[in-house]
Amino acid sequence: MRRFLFIIFFVSVAFLTTTAYHVFKPQWILFHKGENHYLKKEYSKAIIYYEPLTNFDFKKPEFLRHLGISYIVTGHYDKASSVYEKLIKIQPENQEAVIKLAYVYAEQGKFNTAIDLLNLLLETGSDTRLARIYLARILTWSGQFEDAINEYRKVLGEKK
C-alpha cells in the first residue's frame, strides 16, 4: 500500500510540475519547440513558435538571432530587419547582427543603407574579414565594381 501511495505521489508531483511550467512559463515552451524545428532546419515551422515570443518581449539574444535567420531563409526580409534592429539595440557590440542587418537591407535593395552600415562597423575598429567580404559583395550587387575590388584586395591583404 505504501509503495502504491509513493508512486501516486511522485506521478502527481511530476504532472503538477509539468503543468505549472506550461502555465507559468509558456514562453520557454514556445522557445524550446521553436529551437527543435530550427535545429532541424524547418525554418517555417520554427517561425510559428518564435513569433508569439515577440508578444512576451522575450529578449533572449539566441532567440532573436534564430528568428532573424529563419526570416531570411524564408524570404521575410522586412521582418528580419526589425528583428536584427531589436537585437542590435540589446547587443550593440554584436557584429554578426550588424552584418546580417546589412545583408537584409541589400536583399531589400537598400544598398546605400547596407554599405553605410558596414562602413560604420569597419570605422569603429571592427575590421573583420567577414564585414569586408559582405561589403564587397554588396558593392558588387549595387554595381560599384571598383570599390568592391578594392574591398576584396583589403581582405586579401593586397596593397592598391
Over residues 49-61, mean pLDDT: 81
- Amino acid 92 reads P
Q: Does 22 have pLDDT greater than 60? A: no
- Do 99 and 121 contact (CB within 8 A), yes or no? yes
Helix spans in the chain (H): 2-24, 26-39, 43-50, 61-73, 77-90, 95-107, 111-123, 129-141, 145-156
Q: Does 1 have pLDDT greater than 70? A: yes
How many CB atoms are located within 10 Å of the residue 105 CB? 23
Please give the pLDDT value at position 160: 60
- In whole angstroms, how far apart are CA 3 and each of 10, 14, 16, 71, 88? 11, 17, 20, 52, 55
Domains and CATH numbers, the chain: 1-92 (1.25.40.10), 111-160 (no CATH)
Average pLDDT over the chain, rounded to an integer: 88
pLDDT tens-digit series, residues 131-156:
999 999 999 999 999 999 999 999 99
pLDDT tens-digit series, residues 118-133:
999 998 876 688 999 9
Please give the pLDDT value at position 100: 96
82 pLDDT tier (thresholds 50, 70, 90) = very high
Please give the pLDDT value at position 142: 96
Q: What are phi and psi of 92, to 5 degrees?
A: -60, -25
